[in-house]
Amino acid sequence: MEPVIIVLIILVVLVFIALIKTIQVIPQASAAIVERFGRYTRTLNAGLNIVVPFIDTIRNRIDLREQVVPFPPQPVITQDNLVVNIDTVIYYQVTDARAATYEVASYIQAIEQLTVTTLRNIIGGMDLERTLTSREEINAALRGVLDEATGKWGIRVNRVELKAIEPPTSIQDSMEKQMRADRDKRAAILQAEGVRQSEILRAEGEKQSQILRAEGEAKAAALRAEGEAQAVRTVFEAIHAGDPDQKLLSYQYLQMLPKIAEGDANKLWIVPSEIGDALKGLSGAVGNFGSSLGGNGATANVPAQERRETPSID
């Protein structure tokens, strides 16, 4: 009985193993390659799948999700014979599990080598300055070549990115010095423009101030002259309205003579010729006034000899 039990136990274990091998559960976004006696049979998709145990074997399980693979820095020579190190990142996705298994031995290694060679071809036709400023162009060209080459492998390259472009240390120092010089130049130009604009604004302000001051002085002078003219006109009209005679004018003229002589700066006093006429008019007025008081005048009582000694006012 014991051998029979042992055989039964062995049979149960074999059945259990067969059941395990028969039922295959494939996760979502994954695929499995099934071979029968070493030959491709079918591709198992996500879900519960039944295979023939001990006859069908699963060759490879492939993740169908988008994958990200960074590649180490690669030395690349530019058109102007400068060596730069470029880091790349590839975003790819397996679209055909059978082709990715049987068309290429290792699609990751194949993509890396293809990226390096393609990158050298692209950068070899650019100088350093264009390489540093044309990342989008390099990414687009690299993605186009990789997507075309990896299509037969069941791989789709969705995106290619250049993480870093590192020129030689000496070139970096030269670039930093050039950038510093450019910044200093721009700063000096901006400062000079600021000073120039400030001087222009200051000159414009002074010019405007002088113009306004001159206009104010001109208006003040015009108003002053207009005021003086109005005063003269008023005096003239008052004189004509009062109808003064020669005697009154002579008297007023004599009253103004002391005011003319006022001031410490008056070293020389020129007597105008009209003073004689004024004095004549004044003497005539005084004579008429005396005649009205004394009948024949004050000179009538003065002896003839005294009258002869008195000098003439003229």
For residue 69 the two structure tokens come to 């693979």
Alpha helices in the chain (DSSP H): 2-22, 97-102, 107-123, 128-133, 135-150, 169-242, 246-261, 274-294, 304-309
In the Cβ-directed half-sphere of 265, how many Cα atoms lie within 13 Å? 0
Please report where in the chains the tokens 């009154």 appear, as a residue. Answer: 248
Flag the least confident range among 11-20, 220-229, 246-255. 246-255
**Of 282 and 6, the one with more pLDDT:** 6
Per residue in 15-49, pLDDT tens? 778 778 788 888 998 999 999 888 999 999 988 88
Q: How much is the average pLDDT of 299-314? A: 40
Query: How far is CA 65 from its chain centroid?
Result: 46
Coil, strand or helix: which one is 31?
strand
- Over residues 250-283, the pLDDT tens digits come to 666 666 666 666 655 555 555 555 556 655 655 5
pLDDT at 65 over 90: yes
Residue-wise pLDDT tens digits, 164-216: 888 877 777 777 777 788 888 888 898 898 888 888 988 888 888 889 888 88
Question: How, if at all, do strands 56-63 and 39-44 pair?
Answer: unpaired
Residue 279: name the closest of 313, 245, 255, 307 by CA: 313
For residue 152, the 8-state DSSP code is: G
Q: How far is CA 121 from CA 118, 131, 258, in A?
A: 5, 12, 112
Residue 16's pLDDT is what? Answer: 79
The Cα–Cα gap between 57 and 221 comes to 117
- Say whether pLDDT at 146 is over 80: yes
Q: Which percentage of the chain shows pLDDT scores above 70?
A: 76
pTM of the model: 0.53
pLDDT at residue 252 in the model = 66
